[in-house]
Structure 1
Amino acid sequence: MAERGYDVIVIGAGPGGYVTAIRSAQLGFRTAIVEKSHLGGICLNWGCIPTKALLRSAEVYGLMSHAKEFGLSASGIGFDIGAVVKRSRGVAGQLSQGVGFLMRKNKIDVIWGTARLAGKGRVQVAAAENAPKGALGGGDYEAKHVILATGARPRALPGLEPDGKLVWTYFEAMAPDAMPKSLLVIGSGAIGIEFASFYRTLGAEVTVVEILPQILPVEDAEIAAHARKRFEKQGIRILTEAKVAKLDKGANDVTATIELKDGKTEALKVDRVISAVGVVGNVEGLGLEELGVRTERGIILADPFGRTSVEGVYAIGDVAGPPMLAHKAEHEGVVCVEAIKGLHPHAMDKAKIPGCTYCNPQIASVGLTEAKAREAGHEVKVGRFPFVGNGKAIALGEPEGLVKTVFDAKTGQLLGAHMVGAEVTELVQGFVIAMNLETTEEELIQAVFPHPTLSETMHESVLDAYGRVIHV
C-alpha cells in the first residue's frame, strides 16, 4: 500500500525537475518531487549559479588589475580564495532556499531520498540521511505520471579518473582548499573553458588540452578562433588535436603525459588537473530495465514531449540527452507536463536553444553555424561586425569581440547567430526571439536598436550580411 498517491511525481529537483513540478501544480495536478540531496540540483548548487559567482569575482579582480586604463588608481590588489568560494556557496545556498519556498508556495510535496521505479505508477524511495526533520522520506508512493529529471554527472575517462584531491571535477574546482599555481584542464567545452578563464584571471598558469582541432567544438569555427586568440593573449596555453595519455600523481602535484598532434609527447607537471570531458546521464538504479524503459549510451530515449517507451513514464533534461543545458531542461519539462494535461504544446525545437559560455570573453550562440548551414544545403549570406566599431564597447574598454549572423540567401531566414565579447550572453536572447518569430532580415534591418548599446553590434551584423553595414 502506497503512503500517498499523486497525479505527478517528479524525480530530481534540479532546474528541469523543480520547474516541471511548479508547472504541474499550476495545472492542478497533485504533485510531489523527490530529491536526494539539494533542492535546485547540480546546476543551482554546483554548476550554473555558483560558477557564475566565481567568475564574477574573477571579473571584478581583473578590472581592478587594469584600473589605470580607466583613469583610476588601486594598490594592494589581491584576493582571498576562501572568501571567493564562500561568496559563491552563499549565492547557491540562498537560491536553494528559494526553491524550497517555491515548493511550499505551490503546495508541492518534497520527498527526501533516492527514488526508483518499482512498477507501473509506483515509486519506491530510500530515505535520505540529510532529510529535514519531519519531511517526507522513505516509502512507497504512487503516481499516474512519473517524470524522470535525474540530471547528469561528470564523465570519467579510463586512467584519468578524478580523485577529489589532485584530479578535480567541477565539484572540487568550485571549492578549492587553496589556489593552485598551475592547472591542466582536460577538455575545452563550456565547463573547461570557464574554469580555465577563472583560474587564469586569478593568476594560475593554465594549460587546456583538447582532442579535437577546435576549442569550444560546438561553436562556429570563426567565433572559436577569435576566442582562442583572446585566451592565448591572456596567457592560457591551448593544445588542440592533443590527448592526455596518463597522469602520474605525486604527493601534491600531477605529471601529465600529453600526446601532441605531431606525434611527440610532452610531460607537464601541474598542481591540479580539472577533468572537463563532458557529462553522462544518471540512469543507474532507477529500475528502468525492469520496467522496460529504453536507454541508449547513458540517456533515456524520449520523444519531443518527454514520453519514454513505457506509458506513464517521462524523461526530461540532461538524462534525456543533449543539449545538456538548464534552460533546455526547464522548457522541456513544461512541454512535457502541458502535454500530459492535454494542452497540445509545441514540441521544443532544439535548433533554437541558445548556448552560453561565461568565460572572458563571453561566448553565446543559437542556431546553425555557418558550416552546418552549408552542410544542410543552404545558400547563405553571412554578416559580421566587430566590437571595435561599437561606441559602447569602446567606452566600456571592451573593443575586442565579434557578432556573426547566418541567413538563408533565398528566404532571408535567420539560420544562426554567434557572438564573442562583453555581455553577449545577455544579448543572444534577441536573436533567439527573432528565430522563434521566424523573423527575416527585413524585420531585423528595420528594427531600431538603442544607442549607445552593445546591441547595435547585432544590428550591424545583419546589415553587413546584406551589404548595408555602416560603422566599418
Structure 2
Amino acid sequence: MTTRATHTADVIVIGGGTGGYGTALRAAALGLDVVLVERDKVGGTCLHRGCIPSKAMLHAAELVDGIAEARERWGVKATLDSVDWAALVATRDDIVARNHKGVEAHLAHAGVRVVRGTARLTGPRTVRVESVRTDSAPGTADRRTLRAHAQDARPHTDLESGVHDFSARRGIVLATGSRPRTLLGLEPDGQHIVTSDDALFAPGLPASVLVLGGGAIGVEYASFHRSMGAEVTLVEAADRIVPLEDADVSRHLTRGLRKRGIDVHAGARLLDTEVLDNGVRARVRTARGETRTVEAERLLVAVGRVPVTEGLGLAAAGLTTDERGFVVPADWNRLETAVPGIHVVGDLLPPPSLGLAHASFAEGLLVAETLAGLPPAPVDYAAVPRVTYSSPQTASVGLSETEARARGREVEVDTMPLTAVAKGMVHGRGGMVKVVAEAGAGQVLGVHLVGPNVSEMIAESQLIVGWDAEPSDVARHVHAHPTLSEAVGEVFLTLAGRGLHQQ
C-alpha cells in the first residue's frame, strides 16, 4: 500500500549530515520554511561513524597514554589493569546519542521539518521522497510530495506522480555526503577487513592492526590502536604520510609515531592480501623495494572517501559529476550548480573544498544565506584549519612551504621545536611550530603545528591567516608564559625581527 502526502517549503535539503543540517538551521533562522530529507539519522557520518565517536575513543587513548607517561616519566607508580571495552563503548555511544538528540532538538526548535526517506531528483525542479513508515502501519510505503513556495506564480503539484515544483528563486540543496573508498579484492567484512565507518564498531580490541592509508583517518586509527596496546603497521603509497600537509609536518609526525612503536612505511604499496581464520596476511613492497609480509588481526582500509550520488537522480535534473564523482559548482561564490536553484555542500564538492565537517558547516551557512537573498560571503578555504587528532596531533592552516613557492611567492620561513619552550619540555613529546610568510615582512601564508594539544592552538593562526596579518601584527601581542602557544609567539617575533630565544 502506498500513501501520499503534500508538503510545501522554501528550501529542500537532501542529506542531514553537518552540511545539510547546518544549511537547514541557518535557513530556518533566516525565516525560510525548510524541509530536511534524511534516510538514516540526522548528524550523518561525522556524528555517528566519524568525527565524534572517533574523537571520543582517541580521548580514551590519551588517558591510557597518560598512565604510561605518569609511570615511566614522572615516577607516579600507576598501572593499567585492563581496558573495559564494553564500558568504553558505552561512554562513546552515550556521547553520540546525546549529540544526536541535541541536533534533533535544534532542528525541531528551529521549525525544520525532517522527512525520513530517500530523495531522488526527477527533474531540474522536482524531487520525490520515498520512505517506509514504522508507526501505525509498518512496511507501508510513504511517498512524500515536497513543494517550494512560489513568489511570482501559483505553485503546481501533480499529486498522482508525487512530485513538487520549485519557483526559480527557491532551492534544492544537495548534501548527501560520502562513503569510504574500497579497493578491489579488499571487501570489508566488519571483522578482519574494516573501513573507517566500521573500524570502531568491530568487535573488541585487536592485538595487531595493519592500516592501509596514511592520511588523517589512517593515522588517527593507527594512533588509537597503538595506545590500546596493539602492534600497528601503517602503509602509505605516497612518499610521506599526511601527504597534503607541509613536508615538515609529515616528518615530525612520522618521527612521533615511530617513537611510539608504530611501524610506518611511506612510499609503499600493498601487493596482495589473504584473509585468515584469525586475521589477514599481507605482502607489502616498501620504498626500498623490499617485500615484507605482515600478519594482523585486522586490516583497516583508509584510502579516502568518495561522494555518495547513487540513486540521487542527478541526470534527471540536468546535472553531472566529474571523473571523480564530485558535483562541481558553476558558481563557487554561491555553491550553485549549473542548474539554477540547485546548490551543493559538503563532501559532494571537489577541492578546494576540504571534506571536513567544519568546512561543511561554513558551506551550509553560505548557501542558506544565499537562498535568503543575502549577499554571498564565499568560504575562504585557505583559512579553514586542518587537524589530525593522533598522538602527536597535527594542525595547519593556509599554504605549505611547497605550495607557496609553487605559486611564485617569495617566502620567509621560521621553524621552532616545541621543546625550545619550557611547557614543551614539560610535555616532553616533541613537536614544532612552522610559519610561512611572504618575504620582506609580508603577510602570513601558512602556519603548521605538530605536538600535544595543537588542535586547540590552531584557532589563533586561523585568524592570523584569515585576516591577512603580517608577523609584526602578531609580534606585538603577548603570549602567556609558560604555554605551548608561546612557541607560536616566539616564531612570529623572530619573523618580525624581534627574536628573543631564536637568533
TM-score range, shorter chain: over 0.9
Alignment root-mean-square deviation, CA = 1.9
Partner of 2:86: 82
2:43 touches 2:100 (CA, 8 Å); kept in 1? yes
Aligned residues: 470
Shift of 1:159: 1.8
Partner of 1:93: 97
> Which residue of the other structure, out of 364, 367, 379, is the alignment partner of 2:398?
367
Structure whose alpha-carbon radius of gyration is higher: 2
Of 10-19 and 83-92, more deviation after overlay is shown by 83-92
Distance in 2, matches of 1:244 and 1:133, equals: 50
Distance in 2, matches of 1:293 and 1:118, equals: 11
SS class of match (2:300): strand
SS class of match (1:83): helix
> Which residue of the other structure, out of 107, 110, 129, is the alignment partner of 2:111?
107
Of 31-40 and 458-467, more deviation after overlay is shown by 458-467
Shift of 1:340: 1.9
Matches within 5 A, 1:4-153: 4-68=7-71, 69-128=73-132, 138-143=143-148, 144-153=170-179
Distance in 1, matches of 2:438 and 2:265, equals: 35
Q: What is the CA deviation profile of residues 410-444 of structure 1, one whole-angstrom value per residue up to 9, with x for unaligned ones?
A: 45100000000011111111111112222111111
Q: What is the CA deviation profile of residues 266-323 of structure 1, one whole-angstrom value per residue up to 9, with x for unaligned ones?
A: 2211111000000000111111012111211111111322101111111101011241
Of 169-178 and 55-64, more deviation after overlay is shown by 169-178
Matches within 5 A, 1:199-218: 199-218=225-244
Structure 1's 131 and 333: CA in aligned 2 closer, same or farther, altered over 3 A?
A: farther
Distance in 2, matches of 1:78 and 1:469, equals: 48
Partner of 2:164: none
> Which residue of the other structure, out of 332, 344, 349, is the alignment partner of 1:315?
344
1:220 touches 1:371 (CA, 8 Å); kept in 2? yes
Partner of 2:493: 463
Q: What is the CA deviation profile of residues 57-115 of structure 1, one whole-angstrom value per residue up to 9, with x for unaligned ones?
A: 01001101222333422235321222222211211111011000001110100000111
TM-score (ref. length: structure 2): 0.90
Q: What is the CA deviation profile of residues 311-359 of structure 1, one whole-angstrom value per residue up to 9, with x for unaligned ones?
A: 1111101011241100111101111121122211221121111100000
Partner of 1:299: 326
The one-letter code sitting in structure 2 at the alignment partner of 1:406 is V
Matched, 1:334 2:337: no
Distance in 2, matches of 1:31 and 1:65, equals: 51
Shift of 1:162: 1.9
Shift of 1:451: 2.2
Distance in 2, matches of 1:275 and 1:251, equals: 19
Matched, 1:380 2:411: yes
Structure 1's 147 and 468: CA in aligned 2 closer, same or farther, altered over 3 A?
A: same
Where do 5+ consecutive residues of structure 2 fail to align?
149-169
Structure 1's 284 and 449: CA in aligned 2 closer, same or farther, altered over 3 A?
A: same
1:31 touches 1:109 (CA, 8 Å); kept in 2? yes
Percent identity between the two aligned chains:
38
Matches within 5 A, 1:280-299: 280-296=306-322, 297-299=324-326
2:472 touches 2:496 (CA, 8 Å); kept in 1? no
SS class of match (1:3): strand
Distance in 2, matches of 1:262 and 1:126, equals: 54
Matched, 1:349 2:380: yes
Distance in 2, matches of 1:458 and 1:63, equals: 25
1:384 touches 1:465 (CA, 8 Å); kept in 2? no
1:246 touches 1:256 (CA, 8 Å); kept in 2? yes
Distance in 1, matches of 2:321 and 2:88, equals: 40
Distance in 1, matches of 2:260 and 2:46, equals: 28
TM-score (ref. length: structure 1): 0.96
